Structure 1
Amino acid sequence: MTEISVTERNKELVLRGFTEFAAGNVEILRTLIREDFVEHSPGNPSGRDAFIEFIANSPVAKSRLHLKRVVAEDDHVVLHYHMIPAGDERGLAVVDVWRLVDGQIVEHWDVVQPVPAPAAIPNGMF
């Protein structure tokens, strides 16, 4: 049996966390995010507990999340997904970039874009 690479281990951790979170388990974040977690997105707090409280009370925690793709390299895992909040049929396209150290998330960046009407994106958003 071969040893799993750091890239694959990080990818598996983030995917498991995303799947659990998308199913409504916000507490999974406590096992994945390091206490001294650093957030790079405007308006989102750093620190594990502050970030989890913020996310638990944000629209993302109550949205349907449809994963479209995953890109992983060394200590970074990138998720591209469709977030559909209640009452918003088009939703948002989201890209999250996570950096991991020793099996825990230490940094996060994101890019969020409203999904426009289909006529505005003839090649599709995802």
Structure 2
Amino acid sequence: YLDTRLLAPATRLTDLKLADFSVSQIDGTWQRRPERKALSSDRINEFVSEWQQASALSVQRHAGKHPIAWVTLGYAQGEKPQSLRIGIIAREPELVLYRPDEDLDYHFPAELGKRLLQLEPETPTPAK
């Protein structure tokens, strides 16, 4: 049995580095770099939470495909800072993330993939 969670429940993220932006915890507050004025702290917290709790639809041994991009997750394990590089194998029709340390591919629905790879301000729901 392979656990479908990308990260162990005890993993406490400290920063995330994607191709276009990074998110870091500074003095207990999550901040995006480069900064986006319209982005609420709640939205940034949701983004980090999505990564913290990401659970795949399926997990398989790595298929051998090369990542198109990388995400670096920083986390605390005890007092010692650690980092984990995760490869992005595909974005469509599903998000496939590769953990080289486990040699596993994690398959996520495309909608969750968008939430894991994009940090945009919430768009207000149009009034009816």
Shorter-chain TM-score bucket reads 0.3 to 0.5
TM-score normalized by the length of structure 1: 0.33
Which has more helix, going by share of residues?
1
